[in-house]
Amino acid sequence: MAEPAKNLVPKFFDDTGTTYDGVVSYGTLGKDKYWKKKILEQISDGSSFLDLACGTGILTREIAAKFPNAKIVGIDITKSYLDVAKQNSNSFDNISFILDDAEEFKLDSKFDCITASYLPKYCDPGILVKNCIMHLNPGGKIIFHDFTYPKNPAVRGLWNFFLTILRLVGYFIPSWKDALIGLPKLIRSTNWLHNYSNVMKKSGLKVSNQYLTYGAAAILTGTK
Ligand SMILES: C[S@@+](CC[C@H](N)C(=O)[O-])C[C@H]1O[C@@H](n2cnc3c(N)ncnc32)[C@H](O)[C@@H]1O
């Protein structure tokens, strides 16, 4: 039986917090910046935001900059990532960070919008969506973003070629070896978009999705 994707999280992330920002930028050929912009476009207003798997806080800070009067909370399971997030967010007084599991955290507050970039493929859709809904205000929005395996054969060929190069690079960067070798396999096997979409619909959310960059990533939204 395949290993649960959640088991990969410490292998991929425990030792990579300090170099993540550069790797995500080069490793997506700069598309991460564009994908985050597309996530932000999905948020028109709100006064309370929760960024799950906030990592080093790239998206968290972009939300905080767009909504300077709002309260923003970032949650991540990996301490080394949160340490970088806190250090890089010193100039923001509207962000707080919590070390916790997105599937298990319990907060007293509810939010107008919950975002999660690159988290869905590691989690159980039923558990994550249920926990998000519990922390969502009426009318609030969940925004999930992650990699998808392109359907178009030509794009798929290019994608596989690029990820083969990334895998080779992985052999020369010990701290990133597990992630750069394991991630392509996980992206090929995950069906997160379909699975989360189904769970969200069954939970009564109004669902829509958007493919990005020829199907190399997608954004899924669910409104309560
Ligand atoms: C690729 S990074 C993405 C960070 C950030 N969202 C971004 O877009 O730059 C994935 C993050 O997911 C976090 N993560 C994975 N599973 C998690 C979980 N169950 N709860 C909270 N964080 C989790 C990891 O610790 C890591 O920081």
State residue 70's pLDDT score: 98
- 8 A C-beta contact, residue 208 and residue 197: no
Ligand 1 pocket test, pick from 50, 122, 176, 212 with the greatest ligand atom count within 8 Å of Cβ, gives: 122
CB distance 63 to ligand 1 below 6 Å = no
Under 8 Å CB-to-CB from 178, ≥6 apart: which residues? 8, 11, 12, 170
Return mean pLDDT, the chain. Answer: 95
pLDDT of 60 above 80: yes
- Angle, CA of 63, 68 and 74, to the nearest 5°: 45
Q: How confident is the model at residue 207 (pLDDT cuts 50, 70, 90)?
A: very high
Q: Report CA(97)–ligand 1 centroid distance (Å).
A: 13
Task: Note the pLDDT tens digit of each residue in 171-201.
Answer: 889 999 999 999 999 999 999 999 999 999 9
Task: Note the pLDDT tens digit of each residue in 154-179.
Answer: 999 999 999 889 888 888 899 999 99
CB distance 28 to ligand 1 below 6 Å = no
Tell which atom from ligand 1 comes closest to the C-alpha of 116. 6
- 8 A C-beta contact, residue 181 and residue 170: yes
pLDDT of 1 above 70: no
Under 8 Å CB-to-CB from 2, ≥6 apart: which residues? 189
State residue 2's pLDDT score: 66
The two tokens of residue 19 are 């170099």
CB distance 131 to ligand 1 below 6 Å = no
pTM of the model: 0.96
C-alpha dihedral (158, 39, 192, 151), degrees to nearest 10? -30
Give the dihedral sign, CA 143/104/193/213. Answer: positive
State residue 171's pLDDT score: 87
State residue 54's pLDDT score: 98
Task: Note the pLDDT tens digit of each residue in 74-129.
Answer: 999 999 999 999 999 999 999 999 999 999 999 999 999 999 999 999 999 999 99
Gap between the Cα atoms of 189 and 192, Å rounded: 9
CB distance 53 to ligand 1 below 6 Å = yes
State residue 31's pLDDT score: 96
Q: Report CA(164)–ligand 1 centroid distance (Å).
A: 23
- Please report the domains of the chain, with CATH numbers, ordered by start residue: 5-223 (3.40.50.150)
